[in-house]
A and B are shown apart, each in its own frame.
Chain A
Amino acid sequence: MTILSALISIGLLALVFGAVLGYAAIRFKVETDPLVEQIDDLLPQTQCGQCGYPGCKPYAQAIADGDDINKCPPGGEATIRKLADLMGVDVKPLNEAQTENVKRVAYIREDECIGCTKCIQACPVDAIVGASKLMHTVLVDECTGCDLCVEPCPVDCIDMIPLPATTDRWKWDLTAIPVKVVE
């Protein structure tokens, strides 16, 4: 008898908890894979497509699905390290032969621009303004330096120029000034 009552009570408990869990699974369902969001936050968001995917989010999805973490040249070494930490895999060297890590922005030589709007369509972050048959120009602050506008230009009037150094962005170098007073 005692065994029976124990079994019944345990069984009831199991049923109740099962129902609660089942309800919670439906009620509090997480829409997207949070891992993808986390990976996406680590990527540099240049939307350059150098990884072979059309933007950073698709690459984040691909990494979550098991793709390599070393396909992001703009992110460089630092991004790979963070991704390795997040995914619990080994750090791999960047697979592209891309060494320079200079920030660049697109520059349109405006007197040569014919106003074809092809670069505007190519820009993933809408950083080029202009209208048909009027010259275009790049919003320097918004440009991610992804290079995607260079190829579509029919008259080759887009250059990628390194971002000029300013006193605001300047990094101290260690050999600058020794501060020391000696009697």
Chain B
Amino acid sequence: MPSLFKQIQAGTVWDFHGGIHPPARKTQTNQKPIATLPMPDRLYIPLRQHIGVPGQLLVQIGQRVLKGQALTSADNSMAVPVHAPTSGVVLSIAPHTSPHPSALPELTLVLAPDGLDEWRVREPLNISHCDKVQLLNRIQDSGIAGMGGAGFPTHLKSGVAQPVDYLIINAVECEPYISADDLLMQEAATTIVKGIDILCRLLSPKAVLIGIEDDKPIATAAMKAACSQREHYYVRTVPTKYPSGGEKQLIQLLTNKEVPNGRRPIDIGIVMQNVGTAFAVAQAVLDDHPLISRIVTVAGDTLSQQQNVLALLGTPVSDLLDACGFQPEHKQRIIMGGPMMGFTLPDLSVPVVKTTNCILAPTVAELPAATEEMDCIRCSACADACPASLLPQQLLWYSKARDNEKLAEYNLADCIECGACAYVCPSEIPLVQYYRVAKADIREQQREALKAEQAKARFEARNERLEREKQERLERNQQLAAARQQQQTSGAGNAVADALARIKAKQAQAAPQDEQNKAQILAERELKKQQAREYQQQKAQQQAVEEHAEQHSQTPATSNSTDSKAAAVAAAIARAQAKKAAQKPEQLIKPAQSVDEMNKPVRAAEADPRKAAIAAAIARAKAKQQAQTETESETKTETETTAPLIAADAVNKSAVESNAASAIEDPRKAAVAAALARAKAKKQANAEPTEQTEASTTDPVVPETVVAETVVAEDPRKAAIAAAIARAKARKQADSENS
């Protein structure tokens, strides 16, 4: 038996398990040349068009960019940049429907082409003079990601450290309708071969195998002609069968090797690149032409001109279809990708991206909608068709039962979602859909498990830290206590000695000075009494002055106030009143009156804010005076206890108000005041439950202030204050209702 390499050299092609033969329908497009499109009005460029993470944005809205200019930068190895497909102006950078089955919006840059198609400065590389790192950087900076459909960054695949036996170029293109790679090989075989040369330089493989399906004779001939100068390049035709273009299937076809479960082809010394990727690499390195366009097959019977077009990345699907004479049917479906693995688009503004190889606009007769799913009859046709030798019927049961352990046991992870099982199923079960759901579920669970592990680690680290801090505090306290005790014991000894000494001294002097001492003590007592009386008088005076000052505290502030100031003062008053109302629910009459009086000036503020503010201050002062006299008359017996309380409150209040009045120019201070008010309201609310009944009676009064305020609130700051008050109140109310 000859060695594997000998067999490959001799041109042996093996086979893989299963597979199907759907109608190819490639003749409509593979005989025509590649067409070019008129420049679209807008280009929608998603910032991430590959598997991995998006790069850092480099441009701003309104900026003019040149053709080929990088719009993002690759800041880590899993990122590849995107480039401007033509010169123009960046219109917006916002979420836009993504070319993904979910159609969830993703960050997309919208470019308005200026029609000049002006290139940036280009610096082609001479491959004989540059090293591998330079080449890899160029491949990454040109935004190249696998163009077969998965979109894996090419520089990662080409920069592997392991030894490579075979580089396989995938030109199989097994899915029906699609002929983009076929046309590319027909028209640009030499460039593709140059691209393969560059990949060989990076990977140094023993042999290059170019796999092409036998229904592409022109492309095969073109590739053979282009490779004729290279000894270790082998063009191999494989029989037409779906899905021979799958990575693992093609490896099996060309080398008879199987990629082990859960491993990658590089683990068995094989790297596979798409033929389109090889072309893009050649363009990037030799012409400094980044990945800004690709060939897309536009097919389906609703189009009058089915053809392959060279589309700029970011071209909306609608432009593509219009250029091909699109006449939509009723309930027309548009599919991105092939009929087997593609997905239906939600709308036609979705752009062409790096991985888009086909846009399908079929008629209903051509590609009917799915019929109703029936029960599995265990015919095992799916198992016969499965190219990965799985048991689809078993996987279906376990997917339905969500038995992830069993799914893992039956190697769901090896499913390539080719759809062969669903194609052959006589019960029309969309098996792949079940697998996709199950796979997404498993992925989510793995993510959750990872997150739980991280959370656990963080939680434990935190507990450890808290414990340590507690221990440290305890130790510090103990040390302090010990030090204090020591001081005390030594201090106590001294005191005893001192006392003894004093007593002795006293005894020595005692007798003659007795009379004199008594007189002295009496005089001192008299003096102290005098002082106490004076102090009391002073205190009473001070209280009166404070009340007075409180009444006038608004005047200076309002005298130089502007419109917004006045409004803010009104808001502050409202806040303070609300707070007071909440603080003293027992004084029912007062808040009611003050609120009534306050409403008037606030409404008047619309006409003349300044006057209104003064009026508000006066009204408030009056209300306060009234309230005080009322409470005094009401609670005569308690005057002594309540008076200081009121005074303290007044001081507090005036401080807050003058603060607010003087500070309102600064929005930040206003925000602080609002936060303060909220915090107080919340505190109040927490204390409230004991005084439920009063609270509920005062509450109906309160909303009036809110209404009055919202009338005045024109600028956002005022609105924010009003909102804060409203929130605090709502919360208070909710709390009291709950309790």
Contact = CB atoms under 8 A, between A and B. Distances in A.
B412 to A, nearest CB: 14
B107 to A, nearest CB: 11
B678 interface: yes
A84 to B, nearest CB: 15
B100 A180 contact: no
A176 B448 CA distance: 25
23 contacts: A40-B456, A44-B448, A44-B452, A114-B679, A124-B462, A125-B462, A126-B458, A126-B462, A127-B458, A142-B455, A155-B675, A156-B731, A165-B102, A166-B104, A169-B447, A170-B102, A171-B444, A172-B433, A174-B434, A177-B101, A178-B430, A180-B370, A183-B23
Contact of B370 (A114, A127, A144, A178): A178
A1 interface: no
A45 B444 contact: no
A112 B335 CA distance: 47
A178 B425 CA distance: 13
Contact of B682 (A112, A125, A156): A156
Interface hub of A44, A46, A171 (most chain B Cβ within 10 A): A171
A93 interface: no
A109 to B, nearest CB: 11
Nearest to A112: B675
A171 B437 contact: yes
A181 B362 CA distance: 10
A156 to B, nearest CB: 6
Given A144-B455, A170-B100, 20 more contacts: A40-B456, A44-B448, A46-B452, A55-B459, A124-B462, A126-B458, A156-B682, A167-B98, A167-B104, A170-B102, A171-B437, A171-B440, A172-B433, A176-B433, A179-B340, A179-B422, A179-B432, A180-B422, A181-B340, A181-B423
B408 interface: no
B462 A179 contact: no
A45 B335 CA distance: 42
B23 A180 contact: no
Given A167-B104, A176-B344, A47 B436 contact: no
Nearest to B20: A181
A106 to B, nearest CB: 14
Interface in A103-138: 111-112, 114, 124-127
B123 interface: no
Contact of B367 (A43, A126, A155, A182): A182
Contacts of A172: 101, 433, 436-437, 440
Interface in A11-50: 40, 43-47
A130 to B, nearest CB: 15
Complex A-B, nearest 8 residue pairs according to Cβ-Cβ distance, in ascending order: A178-B370, A45-B452, A172-B436, A170-B102, A171-B440, A125-B458, A45-B455, A45-B456
A56 interface: yes
A133 to B, nearest CB: 10
Contacts, number: 121
Given A114-B672, A180-B423, A181-B339, A154 B679 contact: yes
Nearest to A175: B433
A43 B727 CA distance: 36
Q: Is the interface of B mostly helix, strand, loop or mixed?
A: helix
Interface of B: 22-23, 98, 100-102, 104, 106, 176, 335, 339-344, 367-370, 419, 422-423, 428, 430, 432-434, 436-437, 440-441, 444, 447-448, 451-456, 458-459, 461-463, 671-672, 675, 678-679, 682-683, 724, 727, 731
A52 B104 CA distance: 38
A65 interface: no
Contacts of A180: 339, 367-368, 370, 422-423, 428
Nearest to B438: A172
A35 B370 CA distance: 50
B101 A47 contact: no
A: interface residue count bin:
35 or more
B339 A179 contact: yes
Contacts of B340: 179, 181
A143 to B, nearest CB: 9
Contacts of A114: 672, 675, 679
Given A155-B675, A180-B422, A170 B440 contact: yes
A167 B452 contact: no
Nearest to A115: B675
A124 B23 contact: no
B726 to A, nearest CB: 12
A75 to B, nearest CB: 10
Contacts of A177: 101, 335, 342-344, 433
A156 B672 contact: no
A100 interface: no
Contacts of A112: 671, 675, 724
B679 to A, nearest CB: 4
A114 B367 CA distance: 61
B430 A174 contact: yes
B343 A167 contact: no
Contact of B671 (A111, A156, A176, A179): A111
B459 A179 contact: no
A112 B459 CA distance: 28
A49 to B, nearest CB: 11
B459 A174 contact: no
